[in-house]
Amino acid sequence: MNRLIVNKYMLKQEVATSDNGTVLYLAEDIANGFSYFIKAFKGGESNDADKLRDYFYAEAKKLAHLNHRNILQTIDFFEEGYTFYLVQEHVVSYRLDEIIKHHSGNKELPTLHVIKQVLKALSFAHSRGVIHRGVSASNVFVAKNGLVKLDGFGASSHMPIETGTGANFFAAAAYMSPEQIVNPKEIDHRSDVYSVGMLIYQMLTGAPPREAGSTIIQLMRQMEEDIPDIRGKLPGIDPDLAEIIHRALSRSPDQRFQSCDEFLAALERYQHRDDFARAEQQKMTEAKQRRRKFAARGVFAAAMLAVLTWGAWYQFFAERIETVLRLQGSNTIGAKLAPALAEEFLKRKGAHKTRREAGANEEEVRIVGSMGGTRAWAVEVKSHGSATAFEGLEKAQCDIGMASRSIKKEEADKLSVLGDFTQYGSEHVIGLDGLAVIVNVANPLSTVDKDTLARIFAGEAGSWKDVGGNDKAIGLYARDDKSGTYDTFKSLVLDKKKLSGNAKRYEDSNKLSADVAGDPGGIGFIGLPYIKSSKALAISASAAGSAIYPNAFTVAQEEYPLSRRLYMYVPPKTGNPLARDFIEFVLSDDGQEIAEKNGFVSLKVRTETPVLPDNAPTEFRTMVDGAERLSLSFRFRPDTLSFDNRSRRDFDRLIHALDRKELQGRKVMLFGFSDVSEGRKSKEVAEQWTKLVAGELTARGVKPAVEMGMGSIMQLAEGGTRVGKLRNNRVEVWLSRR
């Protein structure tokens, strides 16, 4: 085929075509070179085009949330020229129908290996309210390492019947449950149980239960007749396994397994029954031996035998732990957030329980998830500082690097043999961190700049009078050295200065906040959730900058001076696919909720009506009167017209936010601002940036109502400096009143 480009993907090879007109392509992302599967479904120009479009996007959005190791992951979806495209992860694998075709009549062990993973995938989907409706051998992919991926959920696989030829309805007739044939809109998850029963039947025998006759006759027989007992084709099959299959294929949903978990448990019991029987027999034999030896040798011999017996049992049932993911770097991320994310990630991948195990020291932990039987997966987290993230990536000691700062040029240069770690797809902003500087409520001070703050905590100002306050001694309160909060403060405020030795150090944030609230001369720094009874100061980046109060909104905007990004880095061509799975989970709504629960500011889009600065021009005040500002601002790489990596993700976050009911129908307004260093071209540059943002939004179906370059007004930080450029150069997003 001629190579075609759709959206940002190059279609390289046509892999398969299904009966419903869906074409499966092998494709490549032009930007990063990654391979994907893309399904193309031609919608046509029918009167039902809008209905078809709504159905496709609704299903595609649902699929994007099915993040499980046994489900072929949906990455992207879009429409182009009356064709709908679904982008999915690419897995080097074989389709199960081809395996069955070339290896007619599979052995029991590999069959159950595949079926159990299919059941785990369906169980996860059912827990998210998604019914597959089309389980078949053509939708199951088996990788060389034995990993099974289930495809065919919704979207292009199950477009509404009335919009097509109807061929897709009959494509998987052999796997359809009787109730699905009668009324496909009224089925529940037990229909998928039936389809898996048909799949295991076909794998073991090499063919479906019924092959003769037309599709319509086949459907009629499935509605009216029981499936023939598998023992008719496989006389040597174990009766217990035959009964499991027979139950799964019951015509009545009430007689089947009532869930995929129940089906899976039955297979697990069947597979391990001999093991349990042998273990019980061994236990009985050893019990007799213990009684004889106890009589002959006394209590000591019996006790020794009990120890040996326990050792045998332990060896038999001991977990086989496989380390599947290694994270290394920032203590700010690794202390609490990374382990919490790892626990939930393992659950999403099928772990039924998790636990934390201490590592070699306090900065190391291993999160272990029990995956069923004696299998367990582990995620290793080592938190020795941001610099170790890049050292670990260079030495292949970790799969993901954690950093509370962006990668330095010298670090990127050293890692360049592995690819560009500054590019989109390798550098990921996973959340934001912000600190509040607190004082006693009676302290008249309300604002302070970062330089003055550094002098205070370095002990260079002993009295509030030295910094424009009352003649009262300053009491310093700080978190301990092991705290991520202190790590952040040291990075953002102290820089090369050292914390005064007179500062009282605290392990407990609540205690620090309470003590500052009780000391009229006290000052401390704390995470945003711990301000409580103290007073938070507004902070300016410099004496010339605007002072901004700390809250989740100003931190999310990155306009509050004591805010910073948290990063995760993945090698451009990582050999561990779970690394990218983990990143996608961290960036998902669920992952961001975990970030919030652990005291960080998430990347979720918020709205607020802010107080405008005194230097806001009248024209701007009039434009935003009654409007709300969003918590994201689009920013660019220094001295370029390229969006930074957070902003590239923020476009999708913004589109997702505009789908929320409370934001629907609001007009988008864009206002661009530039740093004073742009001089006479400041307004022109701001307009150029605003147009770039507007173009990206328009391409995603959102046409801004206002696009205005404001120039170098309303500066957030001292112009001309590196920090000033990063904060002042921005495009703000506002929503008009309804």
Degrees, nearest 5: CA angle 26-133-265 = 100
Degrees, nearest 5: CA angle 584-657-727 = 80
Judge whether residue 275 has pLDDT over 80.
Answer: no
User: Pick the residue with more confidence: 735 or 90?
Assistant: 735
pLDDT tens for each residue of 480-499: 887 768 878 988 899 889 99
What CATH number corresponds to the domain at position 82?
Answer: 3.30.200.20
Contact 455, 474 (CB under 8 A): no
What CATH number corresponds to the domain at position 389?
Answer: 3.40.190.10
Contact 453, 621 (CB under 8 A): no
| Together in a domain, 294 and 342 | no
| Together in a domain, 415 and 446 | no
CB atoms within 10 A of CB 110: 14
List the single range of 56-70, 208-222, 466-480, 606-620 with lowest mean pLDDT.
Answer: 208-222
| Together in a domain, 455 and 545 | yes
Q: Note whether residue 236 is domain-resident.
A: no
| Together in a domain, 465 and 545 | yes
Burial class (CB within 10 angstroms; exposed 0-12, middle 13-18, buried 19+) of 317: exposed
Contact 363, 383 (CB under 8 A): yes
Q: Which domain holds residue 313?
A: 264-317
Given this model, what pLDDT does residue 727 score?
85
Contact 263, 194 (CB under 8 A): no
Residue with tokens 């992919």: 141
Using pLDDT thresholds of 50, 70 and 90, give the confidence band for residue 692: very high
Q: Note whether residue 71 is domain-resident.
A: yes
Contact 72, 141 (CB under 8 A): yes
User: Pick the residue with more confidence: 211 or 203?
Assistant: 203
| Together in a domain, 312 and 328 | no
Q: Mark which of 426, 460, 493 sits at the end of a domain.
A: 426
Contact 450, 491 (CB under 8 A): no
Q: Note whether residue 201 is domain-resident.
A: no
Give exposure, 345-369, as e/b (b: 16+ Cβ within 10 Å): bbebbbbeebeeeeeeeebbbbbbb
Distance CA(634)–CA(612), nearest Å, equals 19
Pair of tokens at residue 33: 């070179």
List the single range of 172-181, 254-263, 704-713 with lowest mean pLDDT.
Answer: 172-181
Using pLDDT thresholds of 50, 70 and 90, give the confidence band for residue 309: very low
Q: Note whether residue 310 is domain-resident.
A: yes
Pair of tokens at residue 396: 């292949």
Distance CA(331)–CA(487), nearest Å, equals 8
Query: What's the rounded mean pLDDT across residues 10-35?
Result: 82
Pair of tokens at residue 266: 């039955």
Judge whether residue 641 has pLDDT over 80.
Answer: yes
Tell me the residue length of the chain. 738
User: Pick the residue with more confidence: 161 or 458?
Assistant: 458
Using pLDDT thresholds of 50, 70 and 90, give the confidence band for residue 589: very high
Read out DSSP for 55-105?
A: HHHHHHHHHHT---TTB--EEEEEEETTEEEEEEE---EEEHHHHHHHS-S
Given this model, what pLDDT does residue 678 score?
84
User: Pick the residue with more confidence: 93 or 230?
Assistant: 230
| Together in a domain, 717 and 638 | yes
Distance CA(401)–CA(389), nearest Å, equals 4
Given this model, what pLDDT does residue 646 score?
94
Judge whether residue 305 has pLDDT over 50.
Answer: no
Query: H or E stretch including 669?
Result: strand 668-673
Closest by Cα among 515, 351, 338, 335 to 440: 515
Query: What's the rounded mean pLDDT across residues 46-58?
Result: 72
3-state secondary structure 358-375: ECCCCCEEEEEEEEECCE
Which residues touch 602 (CB under 8 Å, ≥6 apart)? 431, 432, 556, 592, 593, 595, 596
Contact 347, 340 (CB under 8 A): no
Distance CA(575)–CA(511), nearest Å, equals 45
CB atoms within 10 A of CB 242: 16
pLDDT tens for each residue of 501-538: 999 999 888 899 999 999 999 999 988 878 888 999 99
Q: Note whether residue 538 is domain-resident.
A: yes
| Together in a domain, 336 and 297 | no
Q: Mark which of 50, 74, 89 sits at the end of a domain.
A: 89
List the single range of 84-98, 113-127, 381-395, 589-603 with lowest mean pLDDT.
Answer: 84-98
User: Pick the residue with more confidence: 345 or 61?
Assistant: 345
pLDDT tens for each residue of 369-423: 999 888 899 999 999 888 899 999 999 999 999 998 899 999 999 999 999 999 9
Q: Note whether residue 445 is domain-resident.
A: yes
| Together in a domain, 729 and 618 | yes
Distance CA(714)–CA(546), nearest Å, equals 8
| Together in a domain, 609 and 728 | yes
| Together in a domain, 275 and 361 | no
Query: H or E stretch including 634?
Result: strand 628-634
Helix residue spans in 190-259 (DSSP H): 190-205, 215-224, 239-248
Given this model, what pLDDT does residue 20 score?
64
Report the number of distinct structural domains present in the chain. 5
Q: 3-state DSSP call for residue 608?
A: strand
Which residues touch 84 (CB under 8 Å, ≥6 apart)? 40, 41, 42, 43, 52, 53, 56, 77, 78, 155, 156
Using pLDDT thresholds of 50, 70 and 90, give the confidence band for residue 24: confident
Judge whether residue 699 has pLDDT over 50.
Answer: yes
CA distances for 734 relative to 305, 561, 655, angstroms: 75, 22, 13
Query: H or E stretch including 227?
Result: none
User: Pick the residue with more confidence: 60 or 697?
Assistant: 697
CB atoms within 10 A of CB 274: 9
pLDDT tens for each residue of 236-256: 899 999 999 999 999 899 999
Query: H or E stretch including 595?
Result: helix 589-597
Contact 420, 572 (CB under 8 A): yes
List the single range of 32-36, 44-48, 113-117, 201-205 with lowest mean pLDDT.
Answer: 44-48
Given this model, what pLDDT does residue 316 score?
39
Bridge partners (DSSP) listed for residue 39: 24, 86
Degrees, nearest 5: CA angle 391-393-394 = 65
CB atoms within 10 A of CB 508: 13
Please state, for a pLDDT cut of 70, what percent of the chain lies above it.
88
Contact 557, 633 (CB under 8 A): yes
Contact 429, 649 (CB under 8 A): yes
Query: What's the rounded mean pLDDT across residues 662-680?
Result: 89
Radius of gyration of the chain, Cα coordinates, nearest whole angstrom: 31
| Together in a domain, 610 and 694 | yes
List the single range of 81-90, 556-565, 665-674 with lowest mean pLDDT.
Answer: 81-90
Judge whether residue 304 has pLDDT over 60.
Answer: no
Given this model, what pLDDT does residue 238 score?
92
Given this model, what pLDDT does residue 314 score?
39
Burial class (CB within 10 angstroms; exposed 0-12, middle 13-18, buried 19+) of 588: middle
Using pLDDT thresholds of 50, 70 and 90, give the confidence band for residue 165: very low
Distance CA(172)–CA(67), nearest Å, equals 25
* Residues of the chain by 3-state class (helix, strand, coil), percent to 5: 45, 20, 35
| Together in a domain, 301 and 356 | no
Closest by Cα among 72, 47, 43, 62 to 159: 43
Contact 469, 445 (CB under 8 A): yes
Please state, for a pLDDT cut of 90, what percent of the chain lies above it.
46
Which residues touch 325 (CB under 8 Å, ≥6 apart)? 342, 379, 380, 399, 400, 576, 578, 579, 582
Judge whether residue 181 has pLDDT over 50.
Answer: yes
Q: Mark which of 89, 111, 143 sits at the end of a domain.
A: 89
Give the predicted TM-score (pTM) of the model.
0.57
Closest by Cα among 170, 182, 171 to 223: 182
User: Pick the residue with more confidence: 189 or 278?
Assistant: 189
List the single range of 51-55, 287-291, 724-728 with lowest mean pLDDT.
Answer: 287-291
Task: Give first-to-last CA distance, the chain, whole Å.
Answer: 49
Q: Note whether residue 258 is domain-resident.
A: no
Q: Note whether residue 712 is domain-resident.
A: yes
Read out DSSP for 301-343?
A: HHHHHHHHHHHHHHHHH--EEEEEEEEEE-HHHHTTHHHHHHH
E strands, 3-53, in order:
4-6, 9-17, 23-29, 35-42
Q: 3-state DSSP call for residue 565?
A: strand
User: Pick the residue with more confidence: 168 or 232?
Assistant: 232
Bridge partners (DSSP) listed for residue 709: 672
Judge whether residue 293 has pLDDT over 70.
Answer: no
Contact 726, 543 (CB under 8 A): no
